[in-house]
C-alpha cells in the first residue's frame, strides 16, 4: 500500500501541502488538467523552487484575478459538485470544505447556511483543497498519515478582527489531533491546512496521527510557506510503501459492566457515542455477581477521545467506573471504489491483504436508498453491488498484470 506521511513540524497550510506533493514528484501539468475540471475560472497556479533555512522546497501559489474573497458554504460546495472531477475527489473535497464551514458555524454560533467564509472562501482555498485531494490520487497514494501539528502562538488579523493563534476555527478542526507549540510567534496551522489533514488522516480511511510508519521510502518533498521563521517554514511529505502486515495503529478500549439500566437507554448511549466519534461501540451479554444478567458495554476510541468517551459514559449510564486499556489493531489496506450497477452508481469499500482483494463491502446508505427506491430486498442489492465491484476489480487487476 502506498502511504503519504506528512511531517507538520512547522505547521500546515493548504498551499504547503500541495507544494510538498509537487516537490515529491506530482507533475504540475497533470494537476492543472485536474483543476481545469473545476466549474470556476479566473485564476492560475504557479510552483517555484525556493529555500527555507537552507532546505529546498516548492512554493505553490494560486494567483486569482478579481476573485471573490467571501462565499457561503453552498456556493463553495457548488463549485466542486458542478465540476467534472472524479467522484471520489469531489466527495473528499466537499467533506473538507464542509468541515471548514461547520467549524466556522460552530465558532460563530450560527447555522452553516448563515455563514459566509472569508479567508477560506476565496478561490485559492478551494484550489488548495482540490489540489491536495487530486494530487494524492495522481501520486497513487492510498492512505494518509501525519505527525503532531505545530500550531504556533500569538495573534493574527483577519476579517473578524484580532484573533488568538491558533485561530478558533483551526483549533476546532484539530480537536482530537495531537498538537504542540514551541513559542513561534506566528500562525503556523491554518484552517484550510487543518481541515485537509484532519479529513484525510482521520477515520474512516485515514491511518492516524503519530510517528512515521515503517515504510520503504520512494519520494520526499517539502512544501514552503510564505514567511521566514526561526525554523524551516516547510511541510514535509514522505511517500512510500507499507506492507499489509504493517498497517497497525493503537486505540483505546473502554469497558464497563451494567445490570441496572433500561435497554432503550443502552441503545441511545451507543448511538450517542458513535455520533461523537467513537470508532466502534458494542455490547455483550454477561452474567455478573449474584448471577444477575447484564451487559458488557465496550467502546473503541482514539486515545485523544478517551476523556470525552468516559465523560459520556458517566453522564449517560448508571456505571460507577470503567476499565481503560490500549489495544493494537491490524487493518486491511482500504480504498473507496465507485462502480456502475444496473441500479446506477454505487460505492464500495475494498480491503486488500498482500495486494489482493480480501473484502468488498457496499456502502450502506447508498444500498439502502436503492433498495427503497427499487422496492428490492437489501440483501439482493448488496449482492448485486458486490458482484459489480468484484468484476471491476478483477478486470483492473488483470489489466495490471
| pLDDT tens-digit readout, 365-381 | 889 999 999 999 999 99
Give the Cα separation of 13 and 71 in Å (integer): 20
| pLDDT: which is higher, 293 or 336 | 293
Summarised one tens digit per residue, pLDDT across range 303-347 is 878 888 999 999 999 999 999 998 888 778 777 888 889 888 888
82-108: per-residue pLDDT in tens? Answer: 999 998 899 899 989 988 888 888 876
pLDDT bracket for residue 397 (50, 70, 90): low
pLDDT digits (tens, 9 = 90+) for 345-364: 888 988 877 677 888 999 98
Is residue 337 within 8 Å of residue 284, measured between CB atoms? no
Pairwise pLDDT comparison (202 vs 20), residue with the higher score:
20
Looking at per-residue pLDDT, the higher value among 76 and 59 belongs to: 59
Architecture of domain 333-400: Roll (3.10)
Report the pLDDT value the prediction gives residue 371, as an integer from 0 to 100. 92
What pLDDT shows up at residue 247?
A: 66
Which has more pLDDT, 395 or 291? 291
pLDDT band with cut points at 50, 70 and 90 for residue 204: very low
pLDDT at 72 over 50: yes
pLDDT of 68 reads 56
Q: How far apart (Å, rounded) are the C-alpha atoms in residues 247 and 94?
A: 27
Across 287-301, average pLDDT: 93
pLDDT of 220 higher than 70: yes
- pLDDT tens, position by position, 95-151: 899 888 888 888 767 666 656 564 554 788 899 999 999 999 999 998 899 999 999
This prediction has a pTM of: 0.66
pLDDT, mean of residues 268-280: 92
Residue 165 has pLDDT above 90, yes or no: no
Spell out the domain ranges in the chain.
2-244, 248-330, 333-400
pLDDT band for position 395 (50/70/90)? confident
Find the mean pLDDT for residues 389-399. 77
To the nearest whole number, what is the mean pLDDT of the chain?
88
Q: What is the 3-state secondary structure (H, E, C) of the chain?
A: CEEEEEECECEECHHHHHHHHHHCCCCHHHHHHHHCCCCCCCEEEEEEEEEECCEEEEEEEEEECCCCCCEEHHHHHHHHHCCCCCHHHHHHHHHHHHHHHHHHHHHCCCCHHHCEECCCCCHHHHHHHHHHHHHHHHCCCCEEEECCEECEECEEEECCEEEECCCHHHHHHCCCCCEECCCCEEECECHHHHHHHHHHHCCCCCCCECCCCCCEEEEEEEEECCCCCCCCCEEEEEEEECCHHHCEEEEEEEEEEECCCCHHHHHHHHHHHHHCCCCEEEEEEEECHHHCEEEEEEEEECHHHHHHHHHHHHHHCCCCCCEEEEEEEECCEEEEEEEEECCEEEEEEEEEECCEEEEEEECHHHHHHHHHHHCCCHHHHHHHHHHHHHHHHHHHHHHHC
Mean pLDDT calculated for residue range 280-290: 94
pLDDT one-digit tens code per residue, 15-60: 999 999 999 999 999 999 999 999 888 889 999 999 999 999 999 9
pLDDT value for 357: 85
pLDDT for the residue numbered 399: 47
The whole-number pLDDT of residue 206 equals 43
- Looking at domain 248-330, its CATH class is alpha beta
End-to-end CA gap in the chain = 17
Amino acid at each position: 500500500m502506498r502511504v503519504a506521511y506528512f511531517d507538520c513540524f512547522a505547521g500546515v497550510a493548504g498551499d504547503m501541502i500541495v507544494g510538498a506533493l509537487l516537490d515529491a514528484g506530482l507533475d504540475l501539468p497533470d494537476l492543472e488538467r485536474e483543476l481545469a475540471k473545476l466549474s470556476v475560472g479566473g485564476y492560475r497556479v504557479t510552483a517555484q523552487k525556493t529555500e527555507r533555512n537552507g532546505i529546498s522546497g516548492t512554493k505553490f501559489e494560486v494567483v486569482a484575478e478579481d476573485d471573490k474573497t467571501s462565499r457561503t458554504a453552498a456556493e463553495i460546495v457548488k463549485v466542486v459538485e458542478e465540476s467534472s472531477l472524479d467522484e471520489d475527489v469531489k466527495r473528499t473535497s466537499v467533506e473538507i470544505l464542509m468541515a471548514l464551514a461547520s467549524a466556522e458555524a460552530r465558532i460563530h454560533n450560527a447555522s452553516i447556511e448563515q455563514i459566509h467564509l472569508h479567508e477560506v472562501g476565496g478561490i485559492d482555498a478551494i484550489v488548495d483543497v482540490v489540489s491536495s485531494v487530486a494530487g494524492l490520487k495522481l501520486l497513487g497514494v492510498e492512505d494518509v498519515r501525519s505527525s503532531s501539528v505545530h500550531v504556533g502562538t500569538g495573534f493574527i488579523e483577519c476579517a473578524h478582527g484580532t484573533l488568538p493563534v491558533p485561530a478558533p476555527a483551526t483549533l476546532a478542526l484539530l480537536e482530537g489531533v495531537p498538537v504542540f507549540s514551541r513559542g513561534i510567534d506566528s500562525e503556523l496551522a491554518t484552517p484550510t491546512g487543518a481541515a485537509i489533514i484532519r479529513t484525510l488522516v482521520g477515520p474512516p480511511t485515514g491511518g492516524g496521527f503519530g510517528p512515521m510508519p515503517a515504510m520503504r521510502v520512494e519520494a520526499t518533498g517539502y512544501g514552503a510557506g510564505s514567511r521566514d521563521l526561526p525554523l524551516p517554514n516547510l511541510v514535509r511529505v514522505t511517500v512510500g510503501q507499507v506492507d499489509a502486515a504493517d498497517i497497525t495503529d493503537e486505540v483505546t478500549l473502554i469497558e464497563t459492566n451494567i445490570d441496572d439500566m433500561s435497554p432503550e437507554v443502552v441503545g441511545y448511549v451507543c448511538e450517542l457515542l458513535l455520533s461523537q466519534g467513537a470508532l466502534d461501540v458494542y455490547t455483550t451479554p454477561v452474567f455478573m455477581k449474584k448471577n444477575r444478567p447484564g451487559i458488557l458495554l465496550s467502546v473503541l476510541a482514539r486515545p485523544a477521545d478517551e476523556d470525552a468517551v468516559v465523560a459520556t459514559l458517566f453522564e449517560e449510564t448508571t456505571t460507577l467506573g470503567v476499565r481503560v486499556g490500549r489495544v493494537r489493531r491490524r487493518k486491511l489496506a482500504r480504498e473507496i471504489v465507485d462502480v456502475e450497477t444496473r441500479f446506477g452508481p454505487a460505492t464500495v469499500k475494498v480491503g486488500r491483504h498482500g495486494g489482493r482483494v480480501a473484502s468488498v463491502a457496499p456502502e450502506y446508505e447508498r444500498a439502502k436508498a436503492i433498495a427503497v427506491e427499487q422496492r428490492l430486498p437489501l440483501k439482493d442489492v448488496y449482492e448485486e453491488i458486490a458482484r459489480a465491484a468484484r468484476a471491476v476489480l478483477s478486470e483492473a487487476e488483470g489489466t495490471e498484470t
